[in-house]
Structure 1
Amino acid sequence: MWAGGLADARDRRTVLLAAHCGLGATYAALWVQAALGVGSVPLLMVLVACQSLALGAIMTTMGAAVPRLVPAELLPAANSLGSLTRYAGSIIGPVLAGVLIPVVGLGTLYLLDAVALLAVVWAVVRLPPLPPRPGPRAGTAGLRHLAGSRLLVAVLLVDLAAMVFGMPVALFPELAWHTFGGPVGGGLELGLLYAAYPAGVVAAGLLSGTFTRARRHGAVMAGAAAAWGLTVVVLGLAGWLWLALVALVAGGAVNFVLSTFRNAITQAHTPDALRGRIQGSLTVVLFGGPHLANLLHGAATTVLDHRAVIWAGGLLTTVTVAAVTWAFPELRRLGAVAAGDTG
């Protein structure tokens, strides 16, 4: 949240530069403590907190900066490319780490992270200046704008329904063990369940040119959220591993569409002077939603079978999205943003 206020009050290029430098310094500190064999758990916790702080600031500020860098009609494509880059990195990074840790050691990887960030810092330096624009400076101005916009409230409700009701990641170990016969401590079945969703995300990202030109942004977003709920229903009812994997791949693809148009809509329909604070609020939801989903799904399994919890959550997602779409016609009628309309 504080990063969003900073992004509205300062040059966003400067904020991005400071956040990336802070992230690089954190990785360098992780390398130093590993090389010296400090072994301090409190120090590690502080450094991990610094890493999260820097990443949150980067995501918030980038979300606010994108509409200043690309034309309004290209916002879906720009958000799609950004999401594809993040998800591809989340897949390739662990694979590379698994290969390199036995060769160079974990500590050296921290140093390599810090060095690699120099290329990102150089790219940020090459951005044009992004000075703040006139507008309300109160810290609560973003929340007031969000609460006062029926369109943004509808987008937030749809996104929350998809993330909280329809995100059963916490139940994957139980699903792999009890339903698909995997070993108790994890195994191929669990690994495939975890891999299927990001595979669908990356596939959709590579084919994003087929949907980012859509004209009815609100209907596409709501339809993708409802479809996500249906894929979760199939996941909960699936008695075969292959069917569960197909459902998760399809779910990852439609969730990619959902996130692409969620970001494009919020960016296009928020004044530039408030974009940092609005993006800060959405970043809190983005990070907090899955944790709340883990809590709710875990608690529900004390009452219901894990498969029932999964398909019920998917059904609740679809029903909630349908109700929000009916109650907020602004969302289902929303079209594409014309050039020059982003402020």
Structure 2
Amino acid sequence: MGLLQLGRRHLVDVRPLAVPAYRRLWLGQGVSYMGFQLTSVAVSAQIYAITGSSFWVGMLGPANLVPLVVFGLWGGAVADAVDRRRLLIGGALVAWAATLALLVQAWTGTASVGLLLATVAVHATGFAVTSPTRGAIIPRLLPVEQVPAANTLNFLVSSIGAVIGPLLAGVALARGGVAVAYLADAVLFGASLYAALRLPRLAPLGEVTRPGLRSVVDGLRYIAGNRVVLMSFVVDVIAMAFALPRALFPEIAAERFGGSQIAFGWLSAGMAIGSVAGGLLSGWVGRVRRQGVALTFTIAVWGASVAASGLAGELWLMVALLAVGGAADMVSAVWRQTILQTHAPDEMRGRMQGVFTVVVAGGPRLGDLRAGATATWFGATGAWVGGGLACAAAVLAAGLAVPAFRNYRAGGTGARDGGSGGTGA
């Protein structure tokens, strides 16, 4: 096997980048996500500096979660009924306004925990609208056979941003403070806005349902009638709610590494480093057929890696083990996203992506709350290690207990969800 053939087989598929509209969206997402990570790290550090408590850092979880649930579901329903380009621009401007508000608070010295949490909630509202809209746009820009590759590229560029962003945040916090991080985010946002402005008009296709409670319920019924899709959400919630240690990074950096902001940045980037590696070597992902079992064991690897990283005493080892978990998480995310995008009709894609946003973005916020709360009872190390072990055990029990999910084969007869009225993928 020649090197070129080997590369095509195992390295990331870049064919979607030949489509200009997708390429701009992809680049804009990557640049702006770097800024988003700068802000995320800066807010956590600012709240910990004010309170000295991981509990209050963990409260960023519900501050993000409530808007994500409400506006993620609503935003997905709206995305099925209006021009998706206009909706993407509107949601992005809301998120940008929240970043500017954080910058003003830092510059004027008026920041308080309550004000920071409220501003983060506004930012989450913008994200809750733009994320399902962007996911629903991609199948309109590309041939269906390129959608899995596009998802991989999306997760890859986000992961690159999640590596660079926290590392830059560590430097910014050490040398310029939180205001510098917020300013960088505000500037980098321009790439995402430019990409949205250059999109073609994307009016809804098929039957248009008026956005509202009824359309949201229809989307939830679609998911409830498909056990494979439903379980793909369940295992992801388990992964993030049980095992994500993000809210513990400031305390661990303080306890083990003398409060080093550089160490904090490396911890924040660890999972994303693994995601980048997993994305670059993702050529095999589309060839896995037994995706139900694969998802289950991949998420179990994530939980076990997190638990092991919490026991490590050296920074490099903690980051390496977090990277293993990040690679596992990236692979599972590609499989779940592709199922939703390729098997839901266009008039349902916004709602599917809305639920996906709630689960993918909301699960980590539950994880933040869980980590912060359990740290007050068991300490940061106990919360970190215990959460990873609980995740591995729970996902194996849940994923292997549902025959439709356990036996699911992508594109095969195992996709038929007996008695559920739907197909697995």
1:262: which partner in 2? 336
How far apart, in 2, do the equivalents of 1:60 and 1:114 lie?
18
How far apart, in 1, do the equivalents of 2:98 and 2:228 lie?
38
How far apart, in 1, do the equivalents of 2:89 and 2:143 lie?
23
Deviation at residue 6 of structure 1 after TM alignment: 0.5
Does residue 1:172 correspond to 2:249, yes or no? yes
Does residue 1:157 correspond to 2:234, yes or no? yes
1:132: which partner in 2? 205
Deviation at residue 291 of structure 1 after TM alignment: 2.2
Contact preservation (8 Å) 2:293, 2:400:
no
2:306: which partner in 1? 232
- Deviation string for 1:151-195 (max 9, x for gaps)? 1221111001100111122223443454xx321x34444333222
- The 1:286–1:119 alpha-carbon spacing in structure 2 relative to 1, beyond 3 Å, is same
How far apart, in 2, do the equivalents of 1:48 and 1:143 lie?
27
Deviation at residue 322 of structure 1 after TM alignment: 1.4
1:146: which partner in 2? 223
Structure 2: tracts of 5 or more residues without a match: 1-72, 413-422
Q: What residue identity is the alignment partner of 1:121?
A: A
Given candidates 236, 257, 266, the residue that maps to 1:182 is 257
Q: What secondary structure, in the 3-state scheme, does the structure 2 residue paired with 1:209 have?
A: coil
How far apart, in 2, do the equivalents of 1:28 and 1:302 lie?
33
How far apart, in 1, do the equivalents of 2:257 and 2:97 lie?
41
2:352: which partner in 1? 278
How far apart, in 2, do the equivalents of 1:118 and 1:23 lie?
11
Given candidates 125, 129, 132, the residue that maps to 1:60 is 132
- The 1:311–1:93 alpha-carbon spacing in structure 2 relative to 1, beyond 3 Å, is closer
How far apart, in 1, do the equivalents of 2:139 and 2:254 lie?
45
Q: What residue identity is the alignment partner of 2:218?
A: A
Q: What residue identity is the alignment partner of 1:207?
A: L
- Deviation string for 1:42-101 (max 9, x for gaps)? 9998876554333221111112222333344433321111112223234445666767x9
How far apart, in 1, do the equivalents of 2:379 and 2:88 lie?
46
Does residue 1:250 correspond to 2:324, yes or no? yes
Q: What secondary structure, in the 3-state scheme, does the structure 2 residue paired with 1:140 have?
A: helix
Q: What secondary structure, in the 3-state scheme, does the structure 1 residue paired with 2:80 have?
A: helix
How far apart, in 2, do the equivalents of 1:308 and 1:37 lie?
38
1:86: which partner in 2? 158
- Deviation string for 1:192-233 (max 9, x for gaps)? 322222111122122222323433333332221111011122
Contact preservation (8 Å) 1:24, 1:117:
no
- The 1:193–1:38 alpha-carbon spacing in structure 2 relative to 1, beyond 3 Å, is closer
- Taking structure 1 as the reference length, the TM-score comes to 0.80
Range with bigger deviation, 17-26 or 217-226: 17-26
- Deviation string for 1:240-284 (max 9, x for gaps)? 444322211111111111111121122234333222122212212
How far apart, in 2, do the equivalents of 1:46 and 1:236 lie?
31
Contact preservation (8 Å) 1:68, 1:130:
no
Structure 1: tracts of 5 or more residues without a match: none
- The 1:136–1:222 alpha-carbon spacing in structure 2 relative to 1, beyond 3 Å, is farther
2:78: which partner in 1? 6
Given candidates 196, 207, 211, the residue that maps to 1:121 is 196
Q: What residue identity is the alignment partner of 1:267?
A: Q
Does residue 1:311 correspond to 2:385, yes or no? yes
Contact preservation (8 Å) 2:79, 2:350:
yes
Identity of paired residues, percent? 37
- Taking structure 2 as the reference length, the TM-score comes to 0.66
- Deviation string for 1:126-171 (max 9, x for gaps)? 4463423226652311122222221122111100110011112222
Query: Cα RMSD (Å) of the superposition?
Result: 3.7
Contact preservation (8 Å) 2:160, 2:273:
no
- Deviation string for 1:264-312 (max 9, x for gaps)? 1222343332221222122122232222222222332344354333332
